[in-house]
Amino acid sequence: MIDSVRSAFSLPDLRRRILLTVFLLVVYRLVANIPVPGVNLDAWLQFTSNAAAGDNQVIYFLDFLSGGAVRNFSVMAMGVYPYITASIIVQLLTPIIPQFQELASEGESGRNKLNRYTYYMTIPLALLQAIGQINLIGLSTGNMEVIMPNFGFEVGQILPTLTTLMAMLGGTMFAIWLGEMITEDGIGQGISLIIFGGIVSGILPNVARMFAMPEITGKIFTIVSFIIITLLTIFVIVVIQEGQRRIPVQYGRRVRGRKVYQGQSSYIPLKVNTAGMIPIIFAQSILTLPPLMAGLFVTGSGSVVDNIATSIAGFGSAQPSTNPGTFTLYWLTFFLLVVGFTFFYTDVMVQQQNIPQSLQRQGGFIPGIRPGKRTADYIMAVVRRITFAGAVFLGTIAVLPGIMQGLGTLLNIPGLEQSVLVISGSGLIIVVGVVIDTMRQLEAQLLMRNYEGFI
């Protein structure tokens, strides 16, 4: 591997690509420390430094999506997720809208037009997400007037509000532009590397927080648990992410002009985890919304409505020591939602690929399976069987913090959940996937120049 890295840096064009990728990631992290205009940064940093703020599921979720930029209330606080949301919407609409289906079947030119529509859709989504994110933060902290004193659509607040929204929109579009620059002129998939950089930037502060724990016994157990769980999780992620079921395909004899091409054997690679970590984001979004909405109806009056609202508002922050039933119900619901969304999203992705029709068009067939509907049913049956393993894997990764928190309470080891909060399981999926993908692209560049690669 060291020889491969040395070979990569010895090639001028490859060295330029690697250095450009590193430079653009550094630029992204520098911009991620520029605060949004109009925010009372002292009040915000005071809130996020409190211990109670670490238990706020809304802030934790938004901070994860932005790659740590919410901690500084940065212009990059939305990250590239408006673009990812627009991409998912276009993906889901492609099988429904005939014009999108035609564009998807036109090859490179059609994909370029779909990408352009995705960029157009990103702008209004980013503005809506900026308004929603600021209001979510205000509702979850209860200090909207202190943190964002001039945000609103009343007389005298329009210009500061527009300035804030334009800054956040500009930060998102700048991050997307950096990602496209990395994809075109650097190494790796740019948008993924931007998310990767945001996640990795939070590892060192979280490790320092773990070492700063006052309890010596808890600190030792937490550090040992962190090392074991991280190594084990990385191993399982690599096995599941790279795991695939290969369905054999046979191609019949084809005649092209005066030439006869003999039938060939190939396979369809079906991944165990086709959905990636999208189901975790979906599930966490749904679980975050009801407590947030219920918080609006908490008045402290002691009425029936107030008691119900208080119970729902505390659903995501229940502790195993004080409320074990609600704590178990929350994490069990989280697990089931992740499993359900994994099956749903995988079905949509596989149906969108339209594998049976592509096989029929190319003269291929699965041995022993009739073309057409039988082939489609067979492929979906195989996909759902292997997706079960991927769904259970994603669900387990999602609920690891709850498992470790429950074990810490059971074994009387305070702070044990910090071992899985240094980098969350979903963040680790992104990190491992991006590293593998980048290594493969670098290996491909080396193989084109007759050098031995990493893998």
Better-scored residue on pLDDT, 126 or 296: 126
Instruction: Let me know whether 323 and 387 are in one domain.
Output: yes
- Taking only the tens place, the pLDDT of each residue in 389-416 is 888 988 888 888 788 778 877 777 776 7
% the chain with pLDDT above 90: 3
pLDDT of residue 166: 92
Write the secondary structure of 368-389 as one string of H (helix), E (strand) and C (coil).
CCCCCHHHHHHHHHHHHHHHHH
Q: How confident is the model at residue 192 (pLDDT cuts 50, 70, 90)?
A: confident
Instruction: Let me know whether 256 and 379 are in one domain.
Output: yes
Collect all residues with Cβ–Cβ distance below 8 Å to 262 and sequence separation of at least 6: 253
> Cα 345 from chain centroid?
14
**Residue 454 domain-assigned (yes or no):** no
254-256/364-365 β-pairing: unpaired
Helix axes 190-201, 425-448, angle to 10 degrees: 130
Q: How confident is the model at residue 53 (pLDDT cuts 50, 70, 90)?
A: very low
What mean pLDDT comes out for the span 59-71? 69
**Residue 440 domain-assigned (yes or no):** no
5-19, 58-72, 176-190: segment of lowest average pLDDT? 58-72
Instruction: Let me know whether 238 and 283 are in one domain.
Output: yes
**Residue 455 domain-assigned (yes or no):** no
Better-scored residue on pLDDT, 232 or 455: 232
Q: What is the mean pLDDT of the chain?
A: 79
pLDDT of residue 23: 92
List the CATH number of the domain containing 169.
Answer: 1.10.3370.10
Better-scored residue on pLDDT, 184 or 52: 184
pLDDT over 70 (residue 115): yes
| C-alpha pair distances (Å), 338 with each of 163, 245, 264, 277, 346 | 37, 22, 39, 9, 12
Q: Which domain holds residue 298?
A: 214-422
Instruction: Let me know whether 295 and 155 are in one domain.
Output: no
**Residue 432 domain-assigned (yes or no):** no
> Residues of 414-442 as b/e, b for ≥16 C-beta within 10 angstroms?
bbbbbbbbbbbbbbbbbbbbbbbebbeeb
pLDDT over 80 (residue 46): no
pLDDT over 60 (residue 207): yes
**Total count of domains within the chain:** 2
pLDDT of residue 43: 79
Query: CA 63, CA 78: separation in Å to the nearest integer?
Result: 9
Which residue in the block uniquely carries the two structure tokens 């840096």? 9
- Taking only the tens place, the pLDDT of each residue in 319-340 is 776 778 878 888 888 899 989 9
23-32, 131-140, 181-190, 426-435: segment of lowest average pLDDT? 131-140
Instruction: Let me know whether 195 and 220 are in one domain.
Output: no
Helix axes 278-294, 108-141, angle to 10 degrees: 30
pLDDT over 60 (residue 446): yes
259-261/364-365 β-pairing: unpaired
User: Hey, what's the torsion of the CAs at 285, 290, 293, 296, to 10 degrees?
Assistant: -140
87-101, 217-231, 252-266, 269-283: segment of lowest average pLDDT? 252-266
pLDDT over 60 (residue 51): no
254 - beta bridge partners? 261
Instruction: Let me know whether 180 and 284 are in one domain.
Output: no
Q: How confident is the model at residue 65 (pLDDT cuts 50, 70, 90)?
A: low
pLDDT of residue 300: 67
**Residue 444 domain-assigned (yes or no):** no
Domain-ending residue, one of 202, 222, 237: 202
pLDDT over 70 (residue 64): no
- Taking only the tens place, the pLDDT of each residue in 341-370 is 889 888 887 877 778 877 777 777 888 888
Helix axes 12-31, 158-185, angle to 10 degrees: 160
CA angle, corner 384, sides to 334 and 237, nearest 5? 60
Instruction: Let me know whether 400 and 267 are in one domain.
Output: yes
Domain-ending residue, one of 202, 233, 261: 202
**Residue 342 domain-assigned (yes or no):** yes
**Residue 428 domain-assigned (yes or no):** no
Amino acid at 123: I
What mean pLDDT comes out for the span 375-392? 88
Domain-ending residue, one of 172, 202, 232: 202
Collect all residues with Cβ–Cβ distance below 8 Å to 94 and sequence separation of at least 6: 100, 101, 104, 114, 352
Write the secondary structure of the chain as one string of H (helix), E (strand) and C (coil).
CHHHHHHHHHCHHHHHHHHHHHHHHHHHHHHCCCECCCCCHHHHHHHHHCHHHHCCHHHHHHHHHCCCHHHHCECCCCCCHHHHHHHHHHHHHCCCCHHHHHHHCCCHHHHHHHHHHHHHHHHHHHHHHHHHHHHHHHHHHCCHHHHCCCCCCCCCCHHHHHHHHHHHHHHHHHHHHHHHHHHHHCCCCHHHHHHHHHHHHCHHHHHHHHHCCCCHHHHHHHHHHHHHHHHHHHHHHHHHHHCEEEEEEEECCEEECCEEECCCEEEEEEECCCCCCHHHHHHHHHHHHHHHHHHHHCCCCCCHHHHHHHHHHCCCCCCCCCCHHHHHHHHHHHHHHHHHHHHHHHHHHHHHHCHHHHHHHCCEECCCCCCCHHHHHHHHHHHHHHHHHHHHHHHHHHCHHHHHHHHHHHCCCCCCCHHHHCCCHHHHHHHHHHHHHHHHHHHHHHHHCCCCCCC
Query: CA 413, CA 84: separation in Å to the nearest integer?
Result: 39
Instruction: Let me know whether 174 and 253 are in one domain.
Output: no
The answer to whether 426 touches 277, Cβ cutoff 8 Å, is yes
Report the chain's C-alpha Rg in angstroms: 25
Better-scored residue on pLDDT, 273 or 167: 167
pLDDT of residue 397: 84
Instruction: Let me know whether 233 and 363 are in one domain.
Output: yes
What mean pLDDT comes out for the span 252-267? 67
pLDDT over 80 (residue 284): no
pLDDT over 50 (residue 54): no
Instruction: Let me know whether 197 and 219 are in one domain.
Output: no
Instruction: Let me know whether 228 and 93 are in one domain.
Output: no
pLDDT over 80 (residue 141): no
What mean pLDDT comes out for the span 150-156? 79
Helix axes 278-294, 324-353, angle to 10 degrees: 140
- Taking only the tens place, the pLDDT of each residue in 168-189 is 899 989 989 998 898 888 888 8
**Residue 5 domain-assigned (yes or no):** no
Instruction: Let me know whether 279 and 257 are in one domain.
Output: yes
pLDDT of residue 52: 41
